[in-house]
Amino acid sequence: MRKSRITGLLGGATLLAALTGAAGAVGLPTDKSITFQESATPQMDMVTNLHTIAFVIITAIVILVMGLMLFIFIRFNEKANPVPSKTSHNTLLEVVWTAAPVMIVLFLIAVATRPLYYLDTIPEPDMTVKAVGNQWNWDYVYPDHGGFEFNSAPLTKEEAAAKNLPGLLAVTEPMVVPAGKKIRVIVTASDVLHAFAVPAFGVKIDAVPGRLNETWFEVREPGTYYGQCSEVCGQLHYNMPIEVRVLPQAEFDAWVLEKNPEYVKNEGITTEARNTQTGE
């Protein structure tokens, strides 16, 4: 009894720390950065890898083409080469410059296919959250936890600054999910096209009125991760942020109980979370 009360207190303290943004990893854009945000999911690992492979190939092609052009400017300008060659074709060269790009493209298709299907195939999820885009905020629904829902609206610049949170990213109430679990996100919209995107997760999917899209992620580390609506959706599109608070499972369970006290009675939840709630 006593032990679990202490655990409950500790849980409450860490929950408070997490909810005030004091703990864990943070996924947000940084000034003057030219790279991706640090990956928080296996999906984003794959996206980052694919980008690196493509970037190396693109860089090599740019260097080769620029080098050849420079060589031609110097070697074959009028002064250096007053009498031009009348060569009209070269079979070997033509075969090479046709075959090489085809092989590069085939290689890129080969390395891109796995990430593409990995991102697109929803595994058996541990839980589901429904995200509904509105002009200009999000609703989050938790169908696996009794179906409670809440609105997640952007803070004004002044409100964010007062709380020492990033402007245009922080919200009134974030989406909350457990770490290390497969989260399915069902995405739709109530009015116009929006898109649910969290860069650190490698997740970006359209929110279409009247349709359900689904995506998923599994975040390794607890923390706060920011994204934005990524489909131009009207006047205030620039300020339609997504904030995802990732908590350890026990803290997530405690949060669920806070949001929906009825849930524990009807559905059952981990003993630890029940103790946290009831203080036993």
According to DSSP, the residues that pair with 217 across neighbouring strands are 183
Residue 190 CB, nearest approach to Cu ion (Å): 11
- Tokens for 32, please give them: 């003057």
* The only residue of 18, 40, 179, 229 in contact with Cu ion, by rule CB under 5 A: 229
Q: Which residues in 19-38 contact Cu ion (CB under 5 A)?
A: none
SS (H, E, C) 85-135: CCCCCCHHHHHHHHHHHHHHHHHHHHHHHHHHHHHHCCCCCCEEEEEEEEC
Binding mask 237-256 for Cu ion (x = CB under 5 A): ---x----------------
Contact 184, 127 (CB under 8 A): yes
Nearer to Cu ion, 201 or 263 (CB): 201
Helix (H) or strand (E) holding 52: helix 42-75
Residue 186 CB, nearest approach to Cu ion (Å): 17
Residue 130 CB, nearest approach to Cu ion (Å): 16
* The only residue of 233, 254, 256, 257 in contact with Cu ion, by rule CB under 5 A: 233
Residue 238 CB, nearest approach to Cu ion (Å): 10
Strands 183-189, 127-134: pairing kind: parallel
Residue 239 CB, nearest approach to Cu ion (Å): 10
| Residue 130 lies near Cu ion (rule: CB under 5 A) | no
Binding mask 189-228 for Cu ion (x = CB under 5 A): -----x----------------------------------
Question: How far apart, in whole angstroms, are the C-alpha atoms of residue 139 and residue 175?
Answer: 9
Nearer to Cu ion, 139 or 258 (CB): 139
Burial class (CB in 10 A: 0-12, 13-18, 19+), 182: middle
Residues in contact with Cu ion by the rule CB under 5 A:
194, 229, 233, 240
